[in-house]
Amino acid sequence: MNFQSEASFEVLFKTYYSGLHAYALRYVDDPAQADEVVQEVFAQLWEKRSTINIQSSLKSYLFRAVHNHCLNLIKHQKVRETYRTHVEANRAEFQVDETDSMIEVDIKESIMEGIASLPKQCAKVFRMNRLEGFKYREIAEKLGISQKTVEAQMAKAMRRMRVYLKDHLPLLLLIMADFFR
C-alpha cells in the first residue's frame, strides 16, 4: 500500500488503528498507553515513509512494530519500578535537601527553556500533550490540524528535547515523574 500522501496515510491509520490498539492492550493493559504506542508506531512510519522498505505485509509490519514498542515500554516500566523500589528501600540516602531542590528547579527551568526553543506550533503541541495531558486526537481537534500533523510535531519535539536535555538526563530521571504530573 502506498502511504506517501497524507490522505492515503490517514486511510491506513483508520484501517488499522483499532486492531493495533486492541493488540497493544494485551500487553500494556492501559488504554492511554496503548493509544500512545499505536500513535508512536504511526508517527515513526510517517517519518520514515520515504526510506522504509517493508519486506512482509504492511499489516504484519504494523503489528510487529506495536509488539516491539509494547515490549520496550514494559521493559522501561520495569526499570523505573526497580529504581523506585531501590529508592524506597534506601530512602535515607535520597533525602531531599536544599541542593536537591535547587537542582530540581534548574532542571525544570531547562525543560521550559527547551520547550521555548521549539518552533511555536511544535511547542504548543508538546505542551498540550506532555504537560496538559491531551491526546493527539484532542490536540488535533483543538488546533484544527490533522492528527498526522500532531504526530509529526510531537516526534520533532521529542527529538529536539532529547538533544536539548541530554546533559540533564541522569537528573531528569530522578524528578521527571513529579514534573509531568
Name which of 35-39, 130-134, 164-168 the model is least confident about: 164-168
Q: Is the predicted pLDDT of residue 140 greater than 80, yes or no?
A: yes
Q: Note the pLDDT of residue 82.
A: 82
Q: Please give the residue that has the higher pLDDT: either 154 or 175.
A: 154
Mean local confidence (pLDDT), 124-147? 91
Q: Are 31 and 25 in contact (CB under 8 A)?
A: yes
pTM score, two decimals? 0.49
Give me the chain's average pLDDT, please: 82
- Grid coordinates standing for 29? 493493559
Distance CA 127, CA 134 (A): 9
Distance CA 34, CA 84 (A): 23
Backbone angles phi, psi at 5, to 5 degrees: -90, 155
Could you report the per-residue pLDDT of 86-109, keeping only the tens digit for each?
777 766 555 555 555 666 677 778
- Grid coordinates standing for 155? 516526534
Mean local confidence (pLDDT), 43-66? 87
Which of 75, 13, 11, 70 is closest to 45 using CA atoms? 13
Q: Is the predicted pLDDT of residue 142 greater than 80, yes or no?
A: yes
Burial state string for 158-168 with b = 16 or more CB within 10 A and e = fewer than 16: bebbeebbeeb
